Amino acid sequence: MSRPSDHFDSPAPEPKVPGIAQPSLGLIGYLRFFWRQLTSMRTALVLLLMLAIAAVPGSLFPQRSSDPNGVTLYFSTNPTLAPVLDKFQLFDVYSSAWFSAIYLLLFISLIGCVIPRATHHVKALASPPPKTPARLDRLAAFSAFEVVPGETDASGDPITAASAIRAARAVLRKGGYRVRLFEGRELSASAERGYARETGNLVFHVALIGILFAVGIGGGFGYTGQKVLVVGQAFANVRLTFDSFNPGRFFTDDALVPYRLILNSFTTKYEQQNKDAYGQPIDYTAKVTTYDQAGTPTKSVIKVNDPLQIGGNQIYLLGNGYAPSITVRDPNGKVVYSEPVPFLPQDTNLTSLGIVKVPDGLSSQVGMRGIFYPTAAAAADGTLGSVYPDLQNPVLSLVLYSGDLGINKGQPKSVYTLNTDGMKELAGPTALDGTKALRLKPGQTAKIPGGLGSVTFDNKAPKSDPSNLEQSVPRFASLDVHRDPTQGWVLFFAICVLLGLLTSLFVPRRRVWVKAVELGDGRIRLEYAGLARGEDPGLDAAVRAIAEKHSHQLGLRLTR
Amino acid sequence: MTETLSMYSLTAIYSAMAVYLFAFIAFTLDLAKRSAEGPAAAVVAGTHVGQMSRSGTTAILERVVAPPSTVQRRSSRFERVAFALTVLGWVLHVGGTVLRGVAAHRVPWANMFEFSLTASAIMVGVFIFVQLWQNLRFLGAFISGFSLIILGFGTVGFYVNVVPLPPALQSYWLVIHVFVATLGTAFFAIGAGLSMVQLIQTRREANKLNRFRFLDTMPNAEKLENLAYRVIVVAFVFWTFTLMAGAIWAEHAWGRYWGWDTKEVWTFIIWTIFAGYIHARATRGWRGSRSAYLAIIGFAAVMFNFTIVNLFFKGLHSYSGL
Ligand code: HEM
């Protein structure tokens, strides 16, 4: 079968004779020996188990790929241990040298194993079944029956060894066997079926290689981009408009299909009936309009679990939150800043953090660190918290700083962090003059201490009933835009893996022989035997069924 | 309405647990009784040499083919009672699980409590129906005891009232992916049970464990190994499907089909261990006890994934409702 030599179906190795020196191998000999070892079943097995073990640490330590914040946190809580772990690439397990080494070796072993088997199998497919063994009664699933002299078949002709074997061929062919007849002193039919088992096994292993390549190459040509859109905002599929953009190694800007997308509305639904899940989100819906290159608009909906397909991209709805709109005026009432600012949710009731930076227009740069509570409630000690994710009692609390924002020097700074070194706290818990943080409801304005101007928490639905603030603060949706040109290939190979597995595990591969022996006194002895290749619990039953069908074909019946 | 139904559901589950407890006791008594029995006489099967004729009168026997020594044993009364109790407990168990789904207006496998109901119901169901194919009743103590433990943990440790699904779980993939995963788990459990008996049987066959005479009433180690293999192979196909369906779902919900999230990591680890197991069965020197150990380690990893990883490891799956 050209399987690895330590496959249990392969012939047992010759016992080593003590005392006889092995001939020295030479370079080619060593290479061949090494290759044999690498492509043996035992190596494949050990590498598989090593791969399983090597995957474990990735679930024990935070990984940069899936949880970068966790890694940062780990470094700050374990400052001595973390760098050591990092040396061993324990925060990048799945791209680490040692993990890669194991799976690359495994796949080299796999290729080295599959190629000889595939060539051998192609030959086997083209060659007829093997010669009938001399003694069938040594095989598993043996049975024999005798035909009494003078029996005739269904059409009235006498049964001979030749006619019996012809009938056997018909039965076996019908059962999906490939049949070859042998003449000589004893007539026999040799049959084999279930080549699909080996085919399935090869498809399975080759498709695994396919997945590895498709994943490896797909990562190189694809890209992912993130974009936070406040309701009403739009973005174009151009590299610069993304908040963050991660291109693969082989990515070029040509891969960006031009289109535009505008977020028309974002609605949420929270559980209100069930008190065990009060406030739990049950639906997020983003309604968008997209414009292709010709400017034709299309309306679509994006939901969690239901991405939008456009221009070779999938657009996923991965997060959402509030974007309080903030307006800053100078002492004369001139607007120097007016924007909706996406605030990052911190808990299930959407207590959210946001940063406002006002670099120009006031006599000093101003920074604000805000906490937004969609439904604010005060605890006993006076601190605020949010108790429901919808806008029932929206309150914005702002800590104000003046001084140098540190953004003039041209270094890019995250819009979600504020470095307050060298800034003066104007209002907040540690403000020198005791001014408390500002607390604003939608529509309210407060003076910025120090006569710098004023800040307004805009109400986006000023005309509605003042007791109903449900529309007062706009929402944002955070969209992930992906392109993975080989995703379809991965799926294709995965399906091949599954189908290959099913055929290889459940299609029995067997050889069956039927022999007709003329006993001289006119009796004919019919012998049946089978041989399983691989696991085959149904062999006995299959051989019995063939004997049954054969007797039926001959117009006889079996008696025991 | 929801509350009433989930109350009924819980009552049914508690009743099922009580019945399983009695089934467990009866299965254990049966094992004790088997010890007293000693080996059953092998029934001599008929010959394989017969005659082919129209009349079928004169049989000419030439050679008696030695039958494989199969152990035929009439089931004890304890075993019959235990099995009947298991079926009864299972009916209650399934009833309780279905009621939970009706109460929640969705499939009853969306959080730890519900996983434990459904997974153990499927496990016992597979155990019951597998008897149509092979008599594996000697695993009864293992299965009834094990589902008792799962149900105990589920109801005492993780009971939650019915809550609606968060948006990420609102997908038909929840129905398919999780169901096939529990199905796979059930088959892995039975495979592990068989492998454990196999290991004990191997020691018995090596003339150790002379006191455990009940082992003589069970299949020999090789037969057990083959049975375990056939059950585990089915589980492996389910697990492969689970892994792929999970990847497709992850692509829909999180925008990538594979991201080495902790749960994905463990699903992969389990898959790899069992791929190793299947290889071991085909590798000279690795059949027998070594492959049985792999099957047990693999199942331990399944259990670890289901408990420790769900409870203590951080990851995207951690909304599984505790
Ligand atoms: C990526 C690593 C591998 C995985 C995940 C894997 C998985 C599997 C699985 C699941 C089976 C059983 C299903 C079937 O027969 O198709 C199998 C069978 C088999 N594999 Fe692999 N395999 C891997 C690598 C290898 C390598 C490197 C070799 C060669 C040494 C190999 C040789 C075989 C053979 C000969 C069988 C048939 C076993 C039998 O006769 O029952 N595999 N493999």
The CATH number of residue A172's host domain is 3.30.160.110
Q: Which residues contact A216 (CB under 8 A, 6 or more apart)?
A: none
3-state secondary structure of A504: helix
Q: Is there a single domain that holds both residue A341 and residue A420?
A: yes
- Is position B211 within any domain? yes
The whole-angstrom separation of Cα B322 and Cα B232 is: 30
- Whose tokens are 């948006």? That residue is B167
Closest CA in chain B for residue A94: B260
Ligand 1 centroid distance, CA of B62 (Å):
44
Give A140-165 pLDDT, tens digit per residue.
Answer: 788 888 888 878 777 778 888 888 99
- Measured at the alpha carbon of residue A302, what is the angle toward residues A252 and B261, in degrees to the nearest 5? 70
Contact A351, A376 (CB under 8 A): no
| Interchain contact, A276 vs B161, CB within 8 Å | yes
Q: Which of residues 184-213 of A touch B (CB under 8 A)?
A: none
Q: Which of B183, B188, B225, B191 is nearest to B303 (CA)?
A: B188
More reliable by pLDDT, A75 or A560: A75
| B55: pLDDT strictly greater than 50 | no
| Interchain contact, B164 vs A303, CB within 8 Å | no
Q: Domain range for residue B220?
A: 2-26+83-312
Mean pLDDT of A333-340: 93
Closest CA of chain A from B205, distance in Å? 22
Q: Cα separations (Å) of A295 from A231, A289, A290, A298?
A: 20, 11, 9, 9
Contact A167, A516 (CB under 8 A): no
- Is position A276 within any domain? yes
Chain centroid to Cα A245, Å, comes to 21
Measured from the Cα of A201, ligand 1's closest atom is 16
More reliable by pLDDT, A95 or A406: A95
| Interchain contact, A274 vs B284, CB within 8 Å | no
Q: Which of A97, A124, A151 is the last residue of a domain?
A: A124
Residue A437, exposed/middle/buried by CB under 10 A (0-12, 13-18, 19+)?
A: buried
Residue nearest to atom 19 of ligand 1 (CA): B279
Closest CA of chain B from A484, distance in Å? 9
| A183: pLDDT strictly greater than 80 | yes
Mean pLDDT of A49-76: 90
| Interchain contact, A305 vs B59, CB within 8 Å | no
Q: With b meaning 16 or more CB within 10 Å and e meaning fewer, what string describes A262-278?
A: bbeebeeebbeeeeebe
Mutate to test the interface with B, among A59, A212, A244, A502 (most CBs of B within 10 A): A59
| Interchain contact, A494 vs B244, CB within 8 Å | yes
DSSP letters, B265-312, are HHHHHHHHHHHHHHHHHTBTTTTTHHHHHHHHHHHHHHHHIIIIIHHH
Q: Which of A124, A141, A158 is the last residue of a domain?
A: A124
Establish whether residue A205 lines the binding site of ligand 1, counting it when its CB lies within 6 angstroms of any ligand atom: yes
Residue B213 confidence (pLDDT): 77
| Interchain contact, A45 vs B167, CB within 8 Å | no
- Whose tokens are 């994006």? That residue is A302
| A271: pLDDT strictly greater than 90 | no
Q: Cα separations (Å) of B43 from A143, B74, B81?
A: 19, 12, 25
| A221: pLDDT strictly greater than 50 | yes
Establish whether residue A504 lines the binding site of ligand 1, counting it when its CB lies within 6 angstroms of any ligand atom: yes
Residue A231 confidence (pLDDT): 93
Q: Is there a single domain that holds both residue A341 and residue A445?
A: yes
Contacts of A158 in chain B (CB under 8 A): none
Q: Is there a single domain that holds both residue A168 and residue A231?
A: no
Q: Which residues contact B283 (CB under 8 A, 6 or more apart)?
A: A6, A7, A8, A41, A42, A45
The whole-angstrom separation of Cα B34 and Cα B214 is: 5
Closest CA of chain A from B231, distance in Å? 12
Contact pairs from chain A to chain B, CB under 8 Å: 200
Contact A286, A302 (CB under 8 A): yes
Percent of the residues in chain A that have a pLDDT greater than 70, as a whole number: 96
Percent of the residues in chain A that have a pLDDT greater than 90, as a whole number: 48
Q: HSE of A357 in the Cβ direction (CA atoms, 13 Å)?
A: 16
Mean pLDDT of A262-285: 87
Q: Is there a single domain that holds both residue A368 and residue A453?
A: yes
Q: With b meaning 16 or more CB within 10 Å and e meaning fewer, what string describes B212-244?
A: eebbbbbbbbebbbbbbbbbbbbbbbbbbbbbb
Mutate to test the interface with A, among B54, B241, B284 (most CBs of A within 10 A): B284
Helices B262-281 and A41-55: angle between axes, nearest 10 degrees? 160
The model's confidence at residue B62, banded by pLDDT at 50, 70 and 90, is very low
Q: Which of B48, B59, B252 sits opposite A305 (nearest CB)?
A: B252
Q: Is there a single domain that holds both residue A80 and residue A119?
A: yes
Residue B47 confidence (pLDDT): 38
Closest CA in chain A for residue B275: A48
- Is position B40 within any domain? no
Of the ranges B17-21, B33-37, B258-262, the best mean pLDDT one: B17-21
| Interchain contact, A12 vs B52, CB within 8 Å | no
Residue A261 confidence (pLDDT): 93
Q: Which of residues 404-443 of A touch B (CB under 8 A)?
A: none
Residue B232 confidence (pLDDT): 96
| B204: pLDDT strictly greater than 70 | yes
Q: Which of residues 31-60 of A touch B (CB under 8 A)?
A: 41-42, 44-45, 48-49, 51-52, 55-56, 58-59
Q: What is the torsional sign of CA B207, B211, B212, B217?
A: positive
Amino acid symbol at B21: L
Ligand 1 centroid distance, CA of A9 (Å):
14
Q: Which of B50, B161, B173 sits opposite A559 (nearest CB)?
A: B50
A214 Rama sector, left if φ>0, alpha if ψ -120 to 50, beta otherwise: alpha
**Is A84 touching B (CB cutoff 8 A)?**
no
- Is position B175 within any domain? yes
Residue A411, exposed/middle/buried by CB under 10 A (0-12, 13-18, 19+)?
A: exposed
**Is A499 touching B (CB cutoff 8 A)?**
no
**What is the model's pTM?**
0.86
Q: Which of B105, B89, B88, B86 is nearest to B6 (CA)?
A: B105
- Is position B317 within any domain? no
Closest CA of chain A from B251, distance in Å? 8
| A256: pLDDT strictly greater than 80 | yes
Q: Which residues contact A123 (CB under 8 A, 6 or more apart)?
A: none
Q: Which of A369, A366, A371, A368 is nearest to A453 (CA)?
A: A366
Residue B304, exposed/middle/buried by CB under 10 A (0-12, 13-18, 19+)?
A: middle
Q: Which of B62, B171, B286 sits opposite A305 (nearest CB)?
A: B171
Measured from the Cα of A8, ligand 1's closest atom is 40
3-state secondary structure of A33: helix
| Interchain contact, A505 vs B233, CB within 8 Å | yes
SS3 content of chain B, % helix, strand, coil (to 5): 70, 0, 25
Ligand 1 centroid distance, CA of A486 (Å):
25
3-state secondary structure of A385: strand
Distance between first and last Cα of chain B: 23
The whole-angstrom separation of Cα A416 and Cα A396 is: 17
Give B135-153 pLDDT, tens digit per residue.
Answer: 899 999 999 999 999 999 9
Q: Which of A90, A124, A158 is the last residue of a domain?
A: A124
| A450: pLDDT strictly greater than 80 | yes
Give A468-515 pLDDT, tens digit per residue.
Answer: 788 889 999 999 998 888 889 999 999 999 999 999 999 988 999 999
Q: Is there a single domain that holds both residue A412 and residue A440?
A: yes
3-state secondary structure of A22: coil
Give kind and range of the element (H or E) at residue B9. helix B2-37
Residue B158 confidence (pLDDT): 84
Provide the 8-state DSSP code for A5. Answer: T
Establish whether residue A44 lines the binding site of ligand 1, counting it when its CB lies within 6 angstroms of any ligand atom: yes
Q: Find the Cα–Cα–Cα–Cα dihedral A20, A25, A26, A32, rounded to 10°.
A: 170
Q: Is there a single domain that holds both residue A186 and residue A240?
A: no
- Is position A337 within any domain? yes
| Interchain contact, A51 vs B272, CB within 8 Å | yes
- Is position B205 within any domain? yes
Residue A306, exposed/middle/buried by CB under 10 A (0-12, 13-18, 19+)?
A: middle
Give A378-412 pLDDT, tens digit per residue.
Answer: 888 888 899 999 999 999 999 999 988 877 665 55
Closest CA of chain B from A147, distance in Å? 5
- Is position A404 within any domain? yes
Establish whether residue A90 lines the binding site of ligand 1, counting it when its CB lies within 6 angstroms of any ligand atom: no
Of the ranges A213-222, A260-269, A422-431, B210-219, the best mean pLDDT one: A260-269
Token pair listed for A97: 């040298």
| Interchain contact, A7 vs B284, CB within 8 Å | yes
The whole-angstrom separation of Cα A219 and Cα A159 is: 68
Q: Is there a single domain that holds both residue A108 and residue A143?
A: no
Residue B73 confidence (pLDDT): 62
- Is position B60 within any domain? no
The whole-angstrom separation of Cα B33 and Cα B310 is: 40
Token pair listed for A370: 């805000």
The whole-angstrom separation of Cα B209 and Cα B205 is: 9
Which of B268, B271, B278 has most ligand 1 atoms within 8 Å of CB, for mutation? B278
Establish whether residue A3 lines the binding site of ligand 1, counting it when its CB lies within 6 angstroms of any ligand atom: yes
Contact A494, B244 (CB under 8 A): yes
Count of domains for chain B = 1
Mean pLDDT of B112-141: 91
| B211: pLDDT strictly greater than 80 | no
3-state secondary structure of A129: coil
Establish whether residue A39 lines the binding site of ligand 1, counting it when its CB lies within 6 angstroms of any ligand atom: yes
Q: Residue A31: how many CB atoms within 10 A of its CB? A: 11
| Interchain contact, B272 vs A49, CB within 8 Å | yes
Contacts of B58 in chain A (CB under 8 A): 148
Closest CA of chain B from A293, distance in Å? 25
| Interchain contact, A8 vs B261, CB within 8 Å | no
Mean per-residue pLDDT of chain A: 88
**Phi, psi values for residue B266, rounded to 5°:** -70, -35
Count of domains for chain A = 4
Show the DSSP H helices in A127-231 as ranges.
161-174, 195-221
Q: Domain range for residue A105?
A: 27-124
The whole-angstrom separation of Cα B236 and Cα B226 is: 15
Establish whether residue A190 lines the binding site of ligand 1, counting it when its CB lies within 6 angstroms of any ligand atom: no
Q: Which of residues 148-187 of A touch B (CB under 8 A)?
A: 148, 151
Q: Which of residues 100-129 of A touch B (CB under 8 A)?
A: none
Residue A93 confidence (pLDDT): 94
| B318: pLDDT strictly greater than 60 | no
- Whose tokens are 């000589």? That residue is A184
Q: Is there a single domain that holds both residue A248 and residue A145?
A: no
Mean pLDDT of A433-453: 90
Residue B45 confidence (pLDDT): 36
Q: What is the torsional sign of CA B258, B264, B269, B272?
A: negative
- Is position A3 within any domain? no
Contact B281, B229 (CB under 8 A): yes
Contact A300, A262 (CB under 8 A): no
Q: Is there a single domain that holds both residue A394 and residue A446?
A: yes
The whole-angstrom separation of Cα B284 and Cα B291 is: 11
Residue nearest to atom 25 of ligand 1 (CA): A110
Q: Cα separations (Å) of A242 from A246, A247, A294, A315?
A: 10, 12, 22, 13
Establish whether residue A103 lines the binding site of ligand 1, counting it when its CB lies within 6 angstroms of any ligand atom: no
- Is position B73 within any domain? no
| B79: pLDDT strictly greater than 50 | yes
Quote ipTM for the complex: 0.88
| B292: pLDDT strictly greater than 70 | yes
Residue A114 confidence (pLDDT): 94
| B69: pLDDT strictly greater than 70 | no
Closest CA of chain B from A128, distance in Å? 26
| Interchain contact, A556 vs B46, CB within 8 Å | no
Amino acid symbol at B149: I
The whole-angstrom separation of Cα B161 and Cα B7 is: 10
- Is position B199 within any domain? yes
Give kind and range of the element (H or E) at residue B23. helix B2-37
Residue A401, exposed/middle/buried by CB under 10 A (0-12, 13-18, 19+)?
A: buried
- Is position A343 within any domain? yes
